[in-house]
Each structure stands twice: as C-alpha cells, then as structure tokens.
Structure 1
Amino acid sequence: MTAQGYDAVVLAGGAAKRMGGADKPGLRVGGRPLLDRVLGACADATTTVVVGSRRPTARPVRWAREEPPGGGPLAALAAGLAHVTEPVVLALSADLPFLSAETVRALIGALDGEKPGPGPAPAARRDAGPDADRATADRATADRATADRATMDRAGADRDTRAGGAARAEAADTSRAAWDPATARAGEADGTAGNEPADGVLLVDSDGRDQPLVAAYRTEPLRRELSLLAAEHGGLAHLPLRLLSAELTLRRISGPVPAASFDCDTWEDLASARARIREHGNVLDEWMAAVKDELGIELDVDTGVLLDLARDAAHGVTRPAAPLTTFLVGYAAGRAGGTPAEVAEAARRAAALAARWAAESDEGPADGGKTDG
C-alpha cells in the first residue's frame, strides 16, 4: 500500500440497459447491495466519491453526478475526480460482487512496483458525512477548478499534435491485441512495466482483457488525460472508455482473487454471483462479511477459533450451548474493548471451561467407582 494514501471513485450511474434499466448498484448479492460490497473493499480510502444518484450506503461517502446525467464513464470519472485530493485514485464500477480489500491493496501497491501485501494503518477518512468540513472541501474544489482550467489551456496547445479520437481508439485496441499475458505476468513479478513509471495499474480478467474500472491511477496524469480528451472532443459525454488508456502508461496485473473483476451486466451474471457465494468454500466467509456489514462491525474475526469453541460447547455440554456460548464470548470481548486479541482470549477461556465441563462428565466417583454397600 502506498504510504501517501488514496481516494476512491465509484461509478454507480449507469443505465443498466442489459438489465432493463434496473437499479443495478442496489441489487443484492449475499444480502448486500452491490454498491455496499464495493464500498467495503475500499473502506480505507481517505475519501470515497460515488458518482450516481444518492441512496443509503453502509458507510459515509461523498456524492457527485456526471454532466449530463448518464453521460458515460469518462464524464462520471471526471465528476468524481473533482473531489479527489490524494495523489492516487482507485477507479471502480459499482457492480463488482467479488472485489476484495486484498485486490485493492494489490492494485495500489503495484502502482509503486510493490508486491501485494498488507499495508500501513489506514489513513483517517474525510468522507462527507453530515458534519464534514465543507469549507475545506469547497477550498479543495476551488483549487482543483483552477488547476483544471490551466490544464485545459495546455490542452488547446497540445490538441493539434495528438491523433484524433478515432485514431487513438484504434491504437489502444491494437496495443491490447498485441499484449502478451505472459509478458505482463513477468512484469508483474518484478514490479516493472517497461522503463517508464506507471500512470496506472489495471486488473486483467481471466481472458486477458483490461478492466479500466478496476484500477488504480496517479491522480494528476488521469486528470490531465481527461482534460485533454474533453478539449479534443468538446466534452467527455458518451466517449468510449478505451480512449482513456491510449496516452497513459499502464501496468497490468492479474490480481490475487481471480473473480475480482467479475461484474454483473446481466440478470444471468447476477444469478451466477448469487450462486457462487453459496458454494461450500465461500458461504461462511460471505455470511460473516454480510453480518459484520449489517451490524457495522469492522473487526477481523478468526472464524476458526469461534467454530472450535462452538464445537466444544455442543459436544461437551449440549448442542444449544454452541450459539449461546459464542454470543456470550462476543459480548464479553466487546465489553473488554473488542479487539481481535480480546475475542481470542474470551474464546480460549470459554473453550477451557467447556473442556473442564466435559471432563467432569467422564469422571466416576472419587474412589474409582467403588461405593459402600
């Protein structure tokens, strides 16, 4: 994870034409709206901007809207960038049911050539809740507008030296067609992508396709490129997303979770996602994540410890003791401070008690089973 921190821009304003205009960010997978699942993956962003219609969310975010509404991903990305202050920005679509914090860490880390791994303590959030410092936000927006005007002026000078939009789109397609996944994986292994520093890192799906909305970018190159595109085309509305990558230096990674780039574009995709989380290998972790999200708990729980405790209570005492014991352990840990260490300690003590309880039931009379008679 970059030590500088990052902001996140989540695009949630699409028309969902292939789903009949359904409110796609609000559709549920595993009991949680798709948008909330994405927000959970980037929970340690300094500021999270959601571009789309306002709606209840599991955590506070800043809202923005593209101009015109429904103007497409480039217009939406530009609207979100107006609120970004960190040097790195995560760009995400709102329909990624299997995006995880692990994948986010891999993207942010790969931008600086780092191998995926745990990052530093999360930066303090500046999400725009009801009590946010709006004066600070207004100053940042004003400063950004000044910077954008300067970039637009430079764009006018650069416009004649750059290829037109159609030629750039063709070049981007040719570049992707020539890209060798094996070469990209080799670049991922040593943290390089040619000799140039990367402007962004894209996730690549299992078929080798770029996912520019599962990506981390350096904020200023991204902002500059969007301004240049706006100058060339008279705006960003309805421009294809592939134009964005034609002039940026990008690194590609496959990511630690193969399904992270899976998106729900159709009802069939949604049904597939709902079935996947109910598979034996996924259902427990998905259920725990859903419960923590519903209860507003951010604690990383060692499910193995709790399952062992539930087993010991069920076998050594009685079956109904399992859920009641784990509840009491959680309550006790919460009163003590609620850290993972306190959960583990409360579970250890309860498991030891269950073991003593079971041992007593196996013991005979103190004299070895003999009685006077």
Structure 2
Amino acid sequence: MVSVGAILLAGGRGSRVDGAVKPLFEVNGTTLLQRAVDAARSGGADRVVVAAPVLDEQLDVVWVREDPPFGGPVAGIVAALPEVDADEVYVIACDLPTADAAVVLLSAPLSAGVDGACLDDGRRQWLIGRYRTASLRAAASALPDRGRDASMRALLGGLAVTSVSVDPAMTHDVDTWDDLTKARGGVMTESRTLPPEALNDWSEALAERFGLAEGDIPIALILDLARDVANGVARPAAPLSAFVAGLVAGRSGGSPADTEAAVAAVVEMAKGWENR
C-alpha cells in the first residue's frame, strides 16, 4: 500500500497583503492553514510537515523552517523533505481556499512511470500537487544553496509530472485583500496592490526622486515591520507604524542602525499589544 504525507508551504512574506500572515486568514470560519491540514489528513496523509514559523501551536503537525527564512517555496520543500517518511507527498500552498477539493483530485496513488501530478488551469500549478518523495529528494539534491530563491520549474521541470485539468476557480489563491474578500463571498474590487517584483522598481524610483543612496530603503525590514504590526495590532496600523519608525529613525540620525533600532522598538510594542 502506498503511504502519503504532506508538505504545506506557509512561510511567505505576504507582501501583497501588507505583511499579514495569509495562512491565518479565516474563510468560512476556518483558517487557510487549518483547511490545508484538514485536506491533507482527509487525503490520507499521516504526517503533515508545515514549512513556516510556528503559526498555531494547537495543530498536530511538524514545523520546519528554511534557512535563511523567506527563501521561497522550493527552499521550504527542501527543508521539509527530511521530515517526510511516506512514499508520496502532497505539496500544497497554504493560501488556497479550495485545498480540500484540490486534494480530492490528487488522492489516488500516482500512476506507474510518473514522478508526480499537479493541477493545471491552463498553467501548471506546481504548488497544488502530489509527488514521489524519492523523486523530489533527487531533484532537490541537485539544487544549489538548498533551493533558496529557486523556481518550482527548476525543482520539478526535469520530472515526469502529469497534469490534472481544472477550472481556474479551483486554483484561485488568496494573494491580495481583494482575493480574500472574494473567497469570503464578497465582491471583487479593482486591486491597486503592487506585485512583489514592482517593489524594487518603486524603491529605486523613490531613491532617485529624493536623492537617497542605494540601501537607504530596507524593503525586507519594512515588510517585516508591516507584517508584525498587522498581526499584533491591526492592518491599518501597519503604514502608520512604518511612518512613525521612519520619523523616529530620522530624528535619531537616520543611519541604518537608527532605522533598525526604531523598527525593533515598534515591533516589540506590536508583539505585546494584545497583552497590554
């Protein structure tokens, strides 16, 4: 009998939702993370490995973290593979409201001669798939730097992966606030959120406009601040807190160290806000 496990990817920055933790978004009373765990269990997974910082201590899962953090989904898979002891493994991103239905389509053992299967809505959705663990390990071993910043194609492109054709609605994930509204049954509105790749361009434009030096805008630090404040206080508090941190850093001298100190102070406040 073929055994199956699960790798759930939940460690992204959430840059298009102001740094909020997407796997903890609730849809119909259940977090996206819990939904993915339940889907994996229903699909026969005995051992569920979540690549993320510990987000919910009540979940019966194994937590792993890529090193360094935020190395991308491939790095998360590489970090999780040593904890997988099954013949086959689901790989599911934890921003998918339809995880339960997706796993049903992938619940059968893989056919002979293939390394995996993934959903395909006109484009292969590598992060909604089922793969042979040995094949994943072999592919991962060929990647440099433990898969950091590698594409899913770099990991899986050389494997024999079959497609399971589905309607795009099946694979629509929660990537923006509008996506979350739609998943909860609301009306989709036009999004003005910058895609992650546009942040560098915008940062460079700001630096040029205001005569800032390269490195004066610490994108990762600001996004982490926004995430921690959005989670610890409230989403609208994130941009306000970023402004205050910048103001404090400027009054302290404006050096990178001043910025880091101001951000650290705001983050410390945010993490203790609910317990005040």
TM-score bracket relative to the smaller structure: 0.5 to 0.7
Structure 1 residue runs without a partner (length 5+): 114-196, 277-373
Q: 1:247 aligns with which of 132, 139, 158?
A: 158
2:115: which partner in 1? 199
Contact 1:36-1:57 at 8 Å conserved across structures: no
Contact 2:118-2:161 at 8 Å conserved across structures: yes
CA 1:199 to 1:107, structure 2 compared with 1: closer, same or farther past 3 Å? Answer: same
| Equivalences for residues 169-318 of structure 1 within 5 A | 197-205=113-121, 208-230=122-144, 234-255=145-166, 259-275=169-185
The 2-side partners of 1:103 and 1:24 are apart by: 18
CA 1:198 to 1:108, structure 2 compared with 1: closer, same or farther past 3 Å? Answer: farther
User: Percent identical across equivalent pairs?
Assistant: 37
Structure 2 residue runs without a partner (length 5+): 187-276
The 2-side partners of 1:57 and 1:214 are apart by: 25
Contact 2:78-2:146 at 8 Å conserved across structures: no
Contact 2:139-2:155 at 8 Å conserved across structures: yes
Q: Secondary structure at the match of 1:198?
A: coil
2:95: which partner in 1? 95
Contact 1:38-1:94 at 8 Å conserved across structures: yes
Superposition RMSD in Å: 2.0
Write out per-residue CA displacement over residues 277-319 of structure 1, whole angstroms, 9 at most, x where no aligned residue: xxxxxxxxxxxxxxxxxxxxxxxxxxxxxxxxxxxxxxxxxxx
The 2-side partners of 1:11 and 1:60 are apart by: 16
Write out per-residue CA displacement over residues 201-253 of structure 1, whole angstroms, 9 at most, x where no aligned residue: 01112xx11111100000011111011122xxx44111122212221111000
The letter for the 1-side match of 2:134 is E
The letter for the 2-side match of 1:200 is G
The 1-side partners of 2:3 and 2:159 are apart by: 21
Structure 1 residue runs of 4 or more that deviate by more than 6 Å after TM superposition:
none
Q: Secondary structure at the match of 1:75?
A: helix
The 2-side partners of 1:19 and 1:111 are apart by: 36
The 1-side partners of 2:58 and 2:97 are apart by: 15
CA 1:58 to 1:105, structure 2 compared with 1: closer, same or farther past 3 Å? Answer: farther
2:228: which partner in 1? none
| Equivalences for residues 1-373 of structure 1 within 5 A | 3-43=1-41, 44-56=44-56, 59-100=59-100, 102-109=101-108, 111-112=110-111, 197-205=113-121, 208-230=122-144, 234-255=145-166, 259-275=169-185
Report the CA distance between 1:105 and its aligned residue.
3.6
Contact 1:99-1:259 at 8 Å conserved across structures: no
Q: TM-score, normalised by structure 1?
A: 0.47
The letter for the 2-side match of 1:249 is A
Report the CA distance between 1:106 and its aligned residue.
2.6
Report the CA distance between 1:94 and its aligned residue.
0.6
Q: Secondary structure at the match of 1:109?
A: coil
CA 1:6 to 1:110, structure 2 compared with 1: closer, same or farther past 3 Å? Answer: closer
More strand by share: 2
The 2-side partners of 1:105 and 1:228 are apart by: 31
Contact 1:110-1:201 at 8 Å conserved across structures: no
Write out per-residue CA displacement over residues 86-105 of structure 1, whole angstroms, 9 at most, x where no aligned residue: 110100101111121x5324
Q: TM-score, normalised by structure 2?
A: 0.63
